Structure 1
Amino acid sequence: MSAAQPVVSATYPQKLLEGVGNLWQLGVLCDVTLEVGGVHFPAHRVVLASASGYCRALFLGGAGLETTVQLQGIQPGGMENVLNFIYSGKLHLSPDNFRETTQAAEVLLVRDAIRLCCAFQGTTTTPPGKVTEAPQDEQYVQELQQDALSELLERMGMQGAREPTAFELIVSWLGESPLRFPEGTKMLGRLHFPLMSPTELQGPVQATSAMETDLTCPKALSYHMHAGAQPALQAQHGCPQATIPTLLVLGGRGPNNQLSGDVWAMMLANGTWRRMGRLATPLYNHAVAVLSGFLYILGGQSKFDPAGQHPSNEVFRFDPQRGTWLQVARMLQRRSRFHGAVLGEAIVAVGGGTLLGKLTRTVEAYEPIQDTWRWLVPFPVPVADHAGTTHEGLLYIAGGFSSGKTLNLLSSYLPRLHRWVPNHPLTFSRCEHSLAASRNALFCVGGRTLSPAGTWVHVAETECYTPSTDQWTVLRLISLGRCQLSMVGHEDQLYVTGGGSLSTRTKEAAVLVSKPAGWAWQEVGFLPQPLLDHASCIFALPQAGVPAPQERETQPQPSGYQ
């Protein structure tokens, strides 16, 4: 079968423009209003973003959801003329309106309108309505007012804005004029270069000779040349983009023990779930860590196997700015049912194993800047199904399973002294539980333990540990009968997701929230499906990169636990 050949209509572009112009004239489907000097101009966001560099950068940034946008430095008459040009392709120029029209075109960065203004200024013989485009393709940039460009960057505020757009505008403004370079360098210093790809950096730089002497761009390019070191380098730059705090749930074991490879994000503001993507492979009994705005997935099992004979040592890193996964250095030991945490500028993996397999007491740390793992001081005992969290620069490990019994140990790792120290033990021995820090305390929730008769029973009591006094307090008001759950702390709240019930033999889907003040658990929603042996974390997603909501059942049915 021969390949289809494109057939182009010569009249379609003009008819499309006329159709859009008619909608604008009628005020139909307008979704944004531009306010200039108290005068309101309804328009279509997508049309403005296509024609105006200013609006494109603005709408892709912090003003993406605003219905009314106030513009400074523009006269209503100039705004009306340029807006009419955007919708018709015709610019009505005269000596009386030339200045305000040019000013509006420059501030809005409407390239074709600026060219026509330049051509009109350069001739006194061309009749009105016969002005043609100026031959210089980038001439408009040289005449762009510095205050207009500065205002654009200020309005963008780098809050979710597209960095390449701002970078291209600044570099184009610099052009070939060395006089603009000092101010341009200051503007470049406001950008977050790690958000840009090497191609996006190299193109405008190579096209502009003035950029060759600036050290900012070579540093930015080196960021992309050392992938493993990006978390450390990004921490140095800081990330000014607007972000949305979300509760991420990754992988896990769902209905019929089917493994999940989904990454789901719950918006903390409204409790809605959105699919953020998928893991490299379905996983359960894995660990998650967040370091310098990057998400790390460590170890786990990619096939359902109660004996746990095939744990993984692979580590994947997710870059939320680009939505890409990168496999980094593997752990020194394969791990399942272990704990992973961020400690300082490193990621630490502690213990691991299964109830039916061999346990380990090894501890290792990942250094992103070197992309290598190194051994740390081993944990006091071989352990699996333990819980952990970090608080004020220390790593705490609580409970777990070892030597055929559940543990009540609480140990903390002191990174400066490179040693583990014992703390006051838990009130209840437990495994497959969760530990999270909130404010100045640690909270231990759920899990199970062996009864004197040798059967598994829930540990429903919630315990609160105060590091300053080295004491545990039982909070019976927020008891919870779940195991293999996941819990994270955020500000003054605890978020519990999933888990299993020994009494009903079902997996759970409800999402619970409790404030550490001793309030009861409050149900705030449901996971997209019942899960256990999953991982969760609080993660800051870039506002511009939040995906659309996914359809799901609001009341998922419980599934068999085993």
Structure 2
Amino acid sequence: TVQDFSPSYEKCDVNLRTLGVLARLLCIIQETQDDMSVLAKLSVKLHYGKNGTIMKQEARLSNFPLTPETELKGLQKPIISKKTDAAHRLPTSAEHPASSWVGLAKSGLPPEPPRVRSRGTALSELWLQWDVHEEQRRYFRLSEMMWRDSLSLVEEEDPHMKVSLGSSDMGVSAHLQSSKTGTTRFFTSNTHSSVVLQGFDQLRVEGLLCDVTLVPGDGDEVFPVHRAMMASASDYFKAMFTGAVSIKAVYCCLQIALIQTLRHKLRGMKEQDLMCIKLHGVNKIGLKKIIDFIYTAKLSLNMDNLQDTLEAASFLQILPVLDFCKVFLISGVSLENCVEVGRIANTYNLTEVDKYVNNFILKNFPALLSTGEFVKLPFERLAFVLSSNSLKHCTELELFKAACRWLRYEEPRMEYAAKLMKNIRFPLMTPQDLINYVQTVDFMRTDNTCVNLLLEASNYQMMPYMQPVMQSERTAIRSDSTHLVTLGGVLRQQLVVSKELRMYDEKAHEWKSLAPMDAPRYQHGIAVIGNFLYVVGGQSNYDTKGKTAVDTVFRFDPRYNKWMQVASLNEKRTFFHLSALKGHLYAVGGRNAAGELATVECYNPRMNEWSYVAKMNEPHYGHAGTVYGGLMYISGGITHDTFQKELMCFDPDTDKWTQKAPMTTVRGLHCMCTVGDKLYVIGGNHFRGTSDYDDVLSCEYYSPTLDQWTPIAAMLRGQSDVGVAVFENKIYVVGGYSWNNRCMVEIVQKYDPEKDEWHKVFDLPESLGGIRACTLTVFPPEDNTGSPSRESPLSAP
């Protein structure tokens, strides 16, 4: 019974709907108990004011013995026992001031929940809750308390739906949809699907309503199932029972290489009308696992039943089971079973598992070599491992010996000798190892491919200066660690020039030291050819006029963490730019004790010599440069104590300079780099008046196609005479000097071209001006700890 005194029906529409749901649930619960007659009559009065707010609210349960406390005008909390009809007092409002309760409780709960025929659940108690909070919100809540579950419906006046869960096992979600005619509420049961699944499983166990029988291919055991259930979980069964083929089913067939199954589906499955179907591609263990999963959403796996389950899941296209198998395999990979897990992954096209096994072997290859499992590796996986740059803690000689051991394990494997040896980096072995251990192996002398590999190694080692332009897969460093690298610079306080070579470890967020230079450098030039780092010119002592400029050139080999000296410049120079272009180095302009330079030198690694090329129209120092499209671009700088904004382009094929559109801002001691098809100019400084300098915070990029400059976001802090590097399409500006603060800085700023944003990312270990930076693939220092020594086959001439 609902009495409503609101001015209009619309304002109480939600209340009526909610009360209707409550009353309906009361009736349902009553019906679940055979010995329960009509329990109660629910009467609710809602009194509204003119503005639609509730002025008064009353509720009464009648038709059974109740005390006057039952009327919910106060905050007393009686509980009525069905058997005794006696009122038992609950805690008062002082303990729970926010709620009032009336309830019906079934006392004396049995040790096991009884089965209820019509609902499949057991009732323990029923509560009707009416909460009145301080903020004047109202709630109608009905909880059907099960042995472990509860169901709650809640209404709020604001209006928003709230859901109260009695336990994590069961609940209701709801949302509102408003329209001109009122508000509609949609309820969703979070446990309905599991209840239906349990119901289907019970029907299967009891053999009720099953309409097809599945028979595994390896026996006569039968599995009665429901067509609808199997088809809903598997495209294979859907096609079998309906004759319909979905795009997803075709894709799955192709993905798991079941071509025969695909053809079977495309012509329509004759089994759709059969009552008993034999599945020839599935054995009884696998079929039982699949059926149990479809009906229970549960799967138990061990190494004994794994392959049977995988085979069935692949054949029947039960993708969740395949995912479970992948997780099971990955979680159990070890040195003892990695080969077998890899075989399973390859057989059933488990890409994620296959990738994980590869990574596991790469990280644990030295340990795997000491087990008997190594020789069981298939050729394809061993070849992948031997070719990988991620393979660590093994010398090339050790890898060669391992490959020979694998080849000799079975005579038929010798046909793979040439293919396997292509993955060994013979040029990185010492000449002594090549002579003593490699050339003594018979097939290395008789197989033409293997002989050519030895000749390649010999030629590579005989031409040390040419190595940067002779790089190949067999001469590259065995490392996948590319990092931001810094070199040299002058310290802030002591004005001491550094010779430190450092790399930044992005994962550890710290700087780590590599082999230092033999001599300190700042305001030098650096460039990379074939992952060899060249350090050219600069100064070894602090001098702002460039009077201590040097002409020496050194080359760093990250494969052995060693330096060697190469041919020197024709002229000493500092404050210059160095670019690597088409396998050559170009040193442009600068200054020395004699003054400003307009000359340009080119280094040829094949000849190990420097030669002059076309010079600039005027001398420049403090300029910047970059390369793009086979050309070198030089911007800004200082000429005769005047800051410039011009842009010049050098073509090494024609040996000519051309003028391009000038920058929008004059600047010197700035930096320049290329990202994509844009040339970025960053920072620097310029004159303020006639005798002082200011930082230039503005930045811009040049489009070679349009011959046009575009401004971008300004730097956060001024930096001049810096190191710059592009790493993962972000620009890093390292250290330098701030003219506004009159000091060297340790800051590293990162620019994101896509977002046009600057961020301070980390600091150098110390403030350094005249520092230089690049990216280089190296062996992180921790990889050298406990690893076999990498002896260079070269000695500096």
TM-score (structure 1 length as normaliser): 0.69
In 2, distance between residues paired with 1:68 and 1:179?
28
Structure 1 counterpart SS, 2:778? strand
User: Where in structure 2 are the equivalents of 1:49-60 lying within 5 Å?
Assistant: none
Which of 301, 304, 309 is the aligned partner of 2:547? 309
Q: Which amino acid aligns with 1:331?
A: L
> Is the aligned partner of 1:185 residue 2:418?
yes
Tell me: CA distance 1:429–1:297, structure 2 relative to 1, closer, same or farther (3 Å): same
Which of 464, 468, 485 is the aligned partner of 2:705? 468
Tell me: CA distance 1:209–1:237, structure 2 relative to 1, closer, same or farther (3 Å): closer
Match in the other structure for 1:13: none
In 1, distance between residues paired with 2:783 and 2:681?
31
Higher RCO structure (Cα 8 Å, ≥6 apart): 1
Tell me: CA distance 1:543–1:189, structure 2 relative to 1, closer, same or farther (3 Å): farther
Tell me: CA distance 1:477–1:313, structure 2 relative to 1, closer, same or farther (3 Å): closer
User: Where in structure 2 are the equivalents of 1:68-467 lying within 5 Å?
Assistant: 71-73=337-339, 108-110=368-370, 151-161=381-391, 162=394, 163-171=396-404, 182-213=415-446, 214-235=451-472, 237=474, 239=476, 241-255=478-492, 256-268=494-506, 271-353=509-591, 358-467=595-704
Matched-pair contact (CA < 8 Å) for 2:465–2:606: yes
Structure 1 counterpart SS, 2:732? strand
Tell me: CA distance 1:436–1:73, structure 2 relative to 1, closer, same or farther (3 Å): closer
In 2, distance between residues paired with 1:484 and 1:395?
20
Which of 1 and 2 has greater Rg? Answer: 2
In 1, distance between residues paired with 2:657 and 2:684?
24
Matched-pair contact (CA < 8 Å) for 1:462–1:479: no
Q: Which amino acid aligns with 1:219?
A: E
Structure 1 counterpart SS, 2:757? coil
Which of 181-190 and 244-253 deviates more?
A: 181-190
Q: Which amino acid aligns with 2:776?
A: F
Q: Which amino acid aligns with 1:189?
A: K
Tell me: CA distance 1:206–1:413, structure 2 relative to 1, closer, same or farther (3 Å): same
Matched-pair contact (CA < 8 Å) for 1:287–1:299: yes
Tell me: CA distance 1:521–1:199, structure 2 relative to 1, closer, same or farther (3 Å): same
* Residue-by-residue CA offset, 1:73-115 (whole Å, 9 max, x unaligned): 569xxxxxxxxxxxxxxxxxxxxxxxxxxxxxxx95548x89x
Matched-pair contact (CA < 8 Å) for 2:546–2:575: no
TM-score (structure 2 length as normaliser): 0.50
Matched-pair contact (CA < 8 Å) for 2:514–2:781: no
Which of 281-290 and 188-197 deviates more?
A: 188-197
* Offset at residue 425 of structure 1 (A): 0.7
Which of 531, 535, 539 is the aligned partner of 2:768? 531
Matched-pair contact (CA < 8 Å) for 2:713–2:756: no
Q: Which runs of 5+ in 1 are unaligned?
A: 1-35, 40-65, 76-106, 115-143, 549-562
* Offset at residue 37 of structure 1 (A): 5.8
Match in the other structure for 1:137: none
Match in the other structure for 1:485: 722
Matched-pair contact (CA < 8 Å) for 1:478–1:519: no
In 1, distance between residues paired with 2:757 and 2:410?
66
Tell me: CA distance 1:518–1:149, structure 2 relative to 1, closer, same or farther (3 Å): closer
Tell me: CA distance 1:173–1:193, structure 2 relative to 1, closer, same or farther (3 Å): same
Matched-pair contact (CA < 8 Å) for 1:338–1:351: yes
* Offset at residue 512 of structure 1 (A): 0.9
Match in the other structure for 2:737: 500
* Residue-by-residue CA offset, 1:193-236 (whole Å, 9 max, x unaligned): 33322233222124323322422112112211110111122247
Q: Which amino acid aligns with 1:337?
A: F
* Offset at residue 164 of structure 1 (A): 2.2
* Residue-by-residue CA offset, 1:259-312 (whole Å, 9 max, x unaligned): 111111113456421111201111111111111111111111112223322311
When the two chains are superposed, the root-mean-square deviation of aligned CA atoms in Å is 3.1
Match in the other structure for 1:514: 751
Tell me: CA distance 1:344–1:322, structure 2 relative to 1, closer, same or farther (3 Å): same
Matched-pair identity in % = 27
In 1, distance between residues paired with 2:499 and 2:552?
15
Structure 1 counterpart SS, 2:459? helix
* Offset at residue 434 of structure 1 (A): 0.7
Q: Which amino acid aligns with 1:408?
A: K
Structure 2 counterpart SS, 1:529? coil
User: Where in structure 2 are the equivalents of 1:36-51 lying within 5 Å?
Assistant: none
Q: Which amino acid aligns with 2:519?
A: T
In 1, distance between residues paired with 2:655 and 2:612?
11
Number of residue pairs the alignment of both structures matches: 425
Structure 1 counterpart SS, 2:515? strand
Tell me: CA distance 1:273–1:73, structure 2 relative to 1, closer, same or farther (3 Å): closer
In 2, distance between residues paired with 1:368 and 1:360?
24
Structure 2 counterpart SS, 1:388? strand
Tell me: CA distance 1:490–1:221, structure 2 relative to 1, closer, same or farther (3 Å): same
Tell me: CA distance 1:205–1:333, structure 2 relative to 1, closer, same or farther (3 Å): same
* Offset at residue 160 of structure 1 (A): 3.5
In 1, distance between residues paired with 2:607 and 2:639?
33
Matched-pair contact (CA < 8 Å) for 1:158–1:240: no
In 1, distance between residues paired with 2:482 and 2:375?
37
Tell me: CA distance 1:391–1:268, structure 2 relative to 1, closer, same or farther (3 Å): farther
In 1, distance between residues paired with 2:705 and 2:507?
32
